[in-house]
């Protein structure tokens, strides 16, 4: 049973999937930073200085100055600003994956396409059936005249 497990783990697909998950996690952190640190501040500025990560609905009835204060107090909140950031993260990751997959499919189609048909440069002699050059007027094998 241990040998079967080792064989399963060492298969190429499992190792490739593990590498993909690790790289995907790192890519997710990069995209999260892109959204939170690069994209959302200018969008917040355009919308009047709104910090999307601090947008929430307080369900407890007590007023709090920020989401952090409400969470520290244990208040029930609906954090729709964080949800918006997560949706934007998802859209960026999905877009990047779509572009990557479409480019890979394009490359795969290019490599899978059959090679262009070569123009023939030889023909058969009608009398001896030997292969001769296309422009030949006399067969080199049987010396017959070709039309």
pLDDT in tens, 122-138: 999 988 999 999 888 99
Identify the CA nearest to 54 among candidates 70, 66, 41, 72.
66
Three-point CA angle 129, 133, 138, nearest 5°: 70
- The class that CATH gives domain 11-113 is mainly alpha
Report the alpha-carbon distance of residue 38 to residue 57 in Å, rounded: 25
Quote the CA–CA distance of 48 and 52 in Å, as a whole number: 11
Domain with CATH 1.10.1200.120 in the chain: 11-113
- Give the whole-angstrom CA distance, residue 47 versus residue 20: 37
Residues 16-50 pLDDT 10s:
888 888 988 888 888 888 888 888 888 878 888 77
Which pTM was predicted?
A: 0.55
């Amino acid at each position: 049973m241990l040998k079967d497990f080792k064989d399963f783990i060492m298969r190429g697909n499992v190792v490739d999937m593990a590498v993909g998950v690790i790289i995907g996690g790192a890519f997710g952190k990069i995209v999260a930073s892109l959204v939170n640190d690069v994209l959302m501040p200018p969008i917040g500025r355009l919308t009047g200085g709104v910090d999307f990560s601090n947008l929430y609905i307080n369900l407890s009835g007590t007023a709090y100055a920020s989401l952090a204060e409400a969470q520290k107090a244990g208040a029930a909140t609906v954090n729709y600003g964080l949800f918006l950031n997560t949706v934007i993260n998802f859209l960026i990751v999905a877009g990047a994956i779509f572009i990557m997959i479409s480019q890979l499919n394009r490359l795969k189609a290019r490599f899978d396409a059959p090679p262009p048909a070569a123009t023939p440069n030889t023909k058969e002699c009608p009398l001896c059936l030997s292969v001769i050059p296309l422009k030949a007027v006399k067969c080199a094998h049987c010396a017959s005249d070709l039309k």
